[in-house]
């Protein structure tokens, strides 16, 4: 396993280096090469989290990107992580995107991050906290990337207005015990609206609807065995969702403040998202009296605030919840019971430059019916970037 990984990484790096050296400097064929190093020590584990207790390698990225010509842009991102003492390599992005379509349209095709919500289309190393909120880990596997195509349109208005649609294979969001999987499993529609208020304030809001044709399996996918798997910290490093359903709705909002529009010295970011997962279990009604209402949905939300009080230091607080109705069978009958994760998180980060950050984070979690996880988790993390590092998204 380790030898294959070493060979694969060597081929990726050698291919990137050769391309960069062979291409004339200053041309469109001269690619940007970057490496993001993510390492940590953690005392405890989060429910549905990907980082294990002890020393570990987090979301370490090898990325290659360039304008292919004046019509297309391309990017490839490989990811290295550790799990159960083994090093794993995966392909997170491999896509092309148009650069010169008329009337504000653009198309992206290949493997890429879905544009659902506020956080999902951003790489993990840009986050202000160690891991994504519990709702993201439950419904999107932390961050949802897939093979497919996106078409979006930016309106020619003073206020930022965008409409987009995505179609994916849906494999990472596929339900367990699915009898028949659709080849095209996920359809996603979204809209974004944003703007500035004076020089110091900016905002953005979004609304998403994700239809998952392969999200409905048997009730057994949420049964007692599923809870036991979470209790044993059976993390899914394929970034699959822990809970699936038919329709996933998201509403997100973010507000940013920076004196005079200068983010270098100090700024404040407030963000919030709400997820609603519709997962109707038709079989469940047969096991209930007609007068009894069976739970048919999951939901989750978070509220986050991060304040950079000088160019090198920032601090943040985040609170979030995730609720689910789990089916548990008892012989020839069964019942739903509520499962919930509540997380309160505080972090402080030292970032002496745009390329480096060291973060200390404390997480208090209250987990009900999802396994025996640690109440208190302390994580010390570093994120370092080598090579090209573009500006982060809004």
**Tens digit of pLDDT per residue, the chain (394 long)?**
444 444 333 433 333 333 333 333 334 567 899 999 999 999 999 999 989 999 999 999 999 999 999 999 999 999 998 887 788 899 999 999 999 999 999 999 999 999 999 999 999 999 999 999 999 999 999 999 999 999 999 999 999 999 999 999 999 999 877 778 889 999 999 999 999 999 999 999 999 999 999 987 644 444 445 555 554 544 444 467 888 889 999 999 999 999 988 888 899 999 999 999 987 655 544 444 444 444 567 999 999 999 999 999 999 999 999 998 776 665 566 667 788 999 999 999 999 998 999 999 999 999 988 878 889 999 999 999 998 777 677 7
8 Å CB contact between 55 and 135: no
CA–CA dist 392, 388 (Å, integer)? 12
Residue spans per domain, the chain: 95-387
CA–CA dist 272, 250 (Å, integer)? 11
CA–CA dist 60, 78 (Å, integer)? 8
CA–CA dist 62, 77 (Å, integer)? 6
CA–CA dist 163, 215 (Å, integer)? 24
The verdict on domain 95-387 having CATH code 2.40.160 is yes
8 Å CB contact between 128 and 347: yes
CA–CA dist 198, 186 (Å, integer)? 39
CA–CA dist 190, 143 (Å, integer)? 17
pLDDT of residue 296: 61
Q: What is the pTM of this model?
A: 0.85
CA pseudo-torsion sign 383, 81, 341, 217: positive
8 Å CB contact between 359 and 349: yes
pLDDT of residue 279: 75
8 Å CB contact between 129 and 318: yes
């Amino acid at each position: 396993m380790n030898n294959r990984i070493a060979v694969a990484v060597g081929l990726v790096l050698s291919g990137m280096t050769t391309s960069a050296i062979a291409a004339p400097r200053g041309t469109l064929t001269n690619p940007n090469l970057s490496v993001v190093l993510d390492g940590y020590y953690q005392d405890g584990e989060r429910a549905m989290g990907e980082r294990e207790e002890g020393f570990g390698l987090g979301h370490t990225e090898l990325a290659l990107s360039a304008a292919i010509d004046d019509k297309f842009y391309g990017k490839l991102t490989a990811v290295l992580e550790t799990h159960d003492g083994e090093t794993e390599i995966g392909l997170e992005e491999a896509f092309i995107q148009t650069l010169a379509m008329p009337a504000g349209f653009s198309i992206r095709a290949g493997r890429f991050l879905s544009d659902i919500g506020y956080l999902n289309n951003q790489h993990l190393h840009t986050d202000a906290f160690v891991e994504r909120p519990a709702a993201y880990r439950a419904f999107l596997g932390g961050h949802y990337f897939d093979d497919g195509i996106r078409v979006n349109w930016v309106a020619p208005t003073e206020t930022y207005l965008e409409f987009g649609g995505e179609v994916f294979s849906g494999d990472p969001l596929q339900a367990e015990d699915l009898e028949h999987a659709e080849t095209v499993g996920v359809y996603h529609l979204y809209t974004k609206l944003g703007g500035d208020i004076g020089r110091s304030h900016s905002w953005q809001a979004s609304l998403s609807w994700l239809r998952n044709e392969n999200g409905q399996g048997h009730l057994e996918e949420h049964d007692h065995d599923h809870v036991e798997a979470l209790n044993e910290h059976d993390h899914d490093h394929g970034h699959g969702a822990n809970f699936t359903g038919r329709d996933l709705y998201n509403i997100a909002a973010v507000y940013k403040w920076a004196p005079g529009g200068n983010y270098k010295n100090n700024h404040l970011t407030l963000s919030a998202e709400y997820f609603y997962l519709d997962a109707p279990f038709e079989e469940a009604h047969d096991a209930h009296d007609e007068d009894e209402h069976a739970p048919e949905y999951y939901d989750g939300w978070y509220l986050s605030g991060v304040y950079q009080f000088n160019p090198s230091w920032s601090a943040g607080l985040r609170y979030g919840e995730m609720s689910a109705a789990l089916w548990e069978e008892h012989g020839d009958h069964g019942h739903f019971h509520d499962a919930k994760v509540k997380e309160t998180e505080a972090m402080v980060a030292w970032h002496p430059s745009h390329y480096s950050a060291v973060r200390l984070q404390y997480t208090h979690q209250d987990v009900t019916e999802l396994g025996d996880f640690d109440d208190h988790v302390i994580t010390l993390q570093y994120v370092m970037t080598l090579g090209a590092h573009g500006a982060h998204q809004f």
